[in-house]
Amino acid sequence: MLDQSALNKFKQDIITFLGPVYWEPSEVAVRNLAEEIASENPRTLFEVKRIFKKHFPDVLYSVFEGVDNSDLRTLLAMVLASAKAASK
């Protein structure tokens, strides 16, 4: 059974951490993204973004400047945790 609150949290994490602009995916599209991220277990946000772009190739992004590596590792851990929860 899909946990709707986990799926919503995953979507918000993607919006927060990857910065897609005007991104309004269907529930099925978000679930598919979460399942692929959870199964591939990416090690960097770059890898998460690569998976995201495969699912949503035409999305534009806001720019993140001044984000250091420790912030990126924290963001990656949060995205992975929410992806795994949303994919169950």
What is the full per-residue pLDDT of the chain (88 aa) written as tens digits? 458 888 898 999 899 888 898 999 999 999 999 999 999 999 888 899 999 999 999 998 876 555 556 666 777 777 778 888 877 7
**Of 25, 2, 1, the residue nearest 12 (C-alpha):** 25
* E strands in the chain: 20-21, 60-61
Counted domains in the chain: 1
To the question of pTM greater than 0.85 for the whole model, the response is no
The two tokens of residue 45 are: 């946000």
Sign, CA dihedral 53-10-77-81, equals negative
Query: Which structural domain, as residue segments, surrounds residue 13?
Result: 4-86
